Structure 1
Amino acid sequence: MDWRGFAQRMASLARDLLAQESVDATLERITSAATELVEGCDESGILILNGGTVRSLAPTGQLVVESDHLQERLGEGPCFDAARTTTGERTYRIADFTQTQPRWPAYAPQAHELGVGSMMGFLLYTEDEELGALDLYSRKPGAFTENSETAGWMLASHAAVALAGARTHAQMDQAIATRHTIGEAMGILMSSRRLTENQAFDVLRRYSQDHNIKLREVARRVCETGHV
C-alpha cells in the first residue's frame, strides 16, 4: 500500500470533513470515504446504539441497513459490540463469513445470507465521548487485510473528531435558535399582557413545568399563536 499517498488523501479528507455544513453531511462523507480509501470496502455505515435500539446512519447501501437491523433483532454482532464496547475492544475484523463464527453464532450465518463476505468495525470515539461504530463491509471473504484494518482505524480516528466537532456546532446553533425563540416569545407576552421581562419568562417556565413541555416548544407555540 502507498502509505504516503494514503496520508495525503487522509489530510485532504480531514479538511473536507471540517468543511461539511451539517452533521448528516459529515456522516455521509465519512462513510463514502471508507469505500474510497479502505482497500476491499464495498459498503459502509455508522451504527449508533441507544440501549438496545440501533440507528443506522449514512449507509452507503442496503446491505448496511439490513445488517444493522439484523444485529438489533438478534442483540449480537461485531459492530453491535463495537458500539456497546462491552468487551473493551475498539476494532473488529471478521475475515470470512463462510466460516463458523462462535462469537456471533446467530448473526454470522444470517449476515452471510445477506451477502456479507467479510467486515470490520471501529469504535468512533473521542477522549470525552463514545459515538458509535463505523462499519465496513465487503461482499468477498478475506477482502480485508492488515493494511485495510490500519487504514480503517486511521479513518475512524479522523471521523470521530470531525463528527464530535460537527455535533458541537449543531448544538450551538440549536442553542442560539432556542434563545432567539424564547426571547421572541417573551416579547410577545410582555406586549400582550404588559409584563416585565422576568414575569414573561416565569409564564413560559411555569407552563413548561406544569405541562411537561420543553421550554423551547412553549416558546415556539407563543410565537405561532400569540399566547400559551
Structure 2
Amino acid sequence: MEASEGSTPDIFERISHLARTAHGTLTGGVKSSPDVLEEVTEGAVKLLDGVDHAVITLVRRSRPGHLPDNLESVAATGTVPRRFDELQYQHGEGPCFDAIWLHQTVRITDVGVEARWPRLMAAVQEQTPVRSTLSIQLYTDGQELGSLNLFSDSAGGFDDDTEEEAINLATHAAIALSSARRGEQFRSALGSRDLIGQAKGMIMERFDLDAVAAFNLLRKLSQEMNVPIVDVSRRLASREMTSRGKN
C-alpha cells in the first residue's frame, strides 16, 4: 500500500494530536495509564492503514528460554487480539515476545507462509482472521515489558510507511504512559503521606506524644506487624473512623 503524496504529514499530525491528548495537554491533565493505552490502540485502528485490531501486551521479565511469569493483554480493541496473545502464551513463542525481548519491531507479512513460528502460525490461521501482524516494543520498565501489537485481516497488510507511522505512535505512547505512571505514583505518594500524617496526629493526640515519637511508634508497629507503615496508618485511620461512628 503506497501512501498518496502529501498523506504522510497529515497522518503524523494526527498521531501528534493523539499524543497530545494522551499527554493530557488537550484535556486539562495527565490521563491514567489505562486511558493512555486505550487511546493508543483505538488510535492505531483509526489512523493507520491496514490495522483491523490492536492490543498492548504486557509481560513480566523471565529467564531466557522460559515463559514470562504472566502475560496480560490490555486495551484490546476486540476478542481477536486477545486470542492472538492467548495462542502466543500457549505456544511460548511469537512476534510480540520477540518484539519485547529481542527486537524493537517484528513484522509478519503473511501468516500462511511465515516460517519462524510454524505451530503458532497454524493455530492463528485456524482460530483467528489475522493474516499479517506488526509488533513494536513499547517500553521496558524494570521487570515489566510491553509491546504494541497491530493486526490485519489481509496478508501484506503493513508496508514500510505504516511501520514508520506505527513506530512514531508507539514512541509517543511510551512517553505518555511514562508520564501517566509518574502521575499515579505521585498521587499514591501524596495519599500515603496523608495517611501517615493522619495516623501520627491520632497517636499524638491520644498518647500525648510529639511528632517524632508518634512516627517512631508507627515505625515500630510496622516492624512488629511486618507490614508497610502506610498499611498500619490505614488500619489506625479506619479504626478511628469506626470508633467515631459508634459514638
For the criterion TM > 0.5, the same-fold answer is yes
Q: 1:40 to 1:174 in 2, by over 3 A?
A: same
In the TM superposition, residue 29 of structure 1 has moved relative to its aligned partner by: 0.3
In the TM superposition, residue 126 of structure 1 has moved relative to its aligned partner by: 7.6
* Equivalent residue number for residue 160 of structure 1: 174
**Matched-pair identity in %:** 35
In the TM superposition, residue 217 of structure 1 has moved relative to its aligned partner by: 1.5
* Equivalent residue number for residue 123 of structure 2: 110
C-alpha contact (below 8 Å) 2:58/2:144 kept by paired residues: no
The correspondence of residues 1-80 of structure 1 with structure 2, limited to 5 A, is 1=3, 2-19=7-24, 20-51=30-61, 52=68, 53-80=70-97
Q: 1:72 to 1:199 in 2, by over 3 A?
A: farther
Q: Structure 2 stretches of 5 or more lacking a match?
A: 25-29, 62-67, 242-247
C-alpha contact (below 8 Å) 1:124/1:130 kept by paired residues: no
* Equivalent residue number for residue 231 of structure 2: 217
The correspondence of residues 84-103 of structure 1 with structure 2, limited to 5 A, is 85=101, 87=102, 89-99=103-113, 101-103=114-116
Question: Aligned pair 1:136/2:150, yes or no?
Answer: yes
TM-score by length of 1: 0.90
C-alpha contact (below 8 Å) 1:63/1:114 kept by paired residues: no
Question: Aligned pair 1:179/2:193, yes or no?
Answer: yes
d(CA) in 2 for partners of 1:54 and 1:126?
Answer: 14
* Equivalent residue number for residue 162 of structure 2: 148
d(CA) in 2 for partners of 1:129 and 1:39?
Answer: 33
- 1:32 corresponds to which letter in structure 2? E
* Secondary structure at 1:63 match in 2: helix
Aligned residues: 223
TM-score by length of 2: 0.83
- 2:163 corresponds to which letter in structure 1? E
- 1:190 corresponds to which letter in structure 2? M
Alignment counterpart, residue 195 of structure 1, candidates 184, 209, 218: 209
* Equivalent residue number for residue 244 of structure 2: none
C-alpha contact (below 8 Å) 1:72/1:80 kept by paired residues: no
Q: 1:140 to 1:134 in 2, by over 3 A?
A: same
In the TM superposition, residue 129 of structure 1 has moved relative to its aligned partner by: 9.7
In the TM superposition, residue 105 of structure 1 has moved relative to its aligned partner by: 2.7
d(CA) in 2 for partners of 1:202 and 1:111?
Answer: 58
- 1:158 corresponds to which letter in structure 2? H
In the TM superposition, residue 40 of structure 1 has moved relative to its aligned partner by: 0.6
Runs (4 or more) in structure 1 with deviation over 6 Å come to 126-130
Query: CA offsets per residue over residues 98-144 of structure 1, 9 Å max, x none?
Result: 22x33223322112223121111000138999741001011222211
d(CA) in 1 for partners of 2:142 and 2:148?
Answer: 18
d(CA) in 1 for partners of 2:91 and 2:220?
Answer: 44
d(CA) in 2 for partners of 1:68 and 1:213?
Answer: 36
- 2:41 corresponds to which letter in structure 1? T
d(CA) in 1 for partners of 2:186 and 2:60?
Answer: 23
* Secondary structure at 2:118 match in 1: coil
C-alpha contact (below 8 Å) 1:47/1:135 kept by paired residues: yes
d(CA) in 2 for partners of 1:37 and 1:188?
Answer: 54
Q: 1:70 to 1:201 in 2, by over 3 A?
A: farther
C-alpha contact (below 8 Å) 1:190/1:196 kept by paired residues: yes
In the TM superposition, residue 79 of structure 1 has moved relative to its aligned partner by: 0.5
d(CA) in 1 for partners of 2:141 and 2:229?
Answer: 31
d(CA) in 1 for partners of 2:222 and 2:144?
Answer: 31
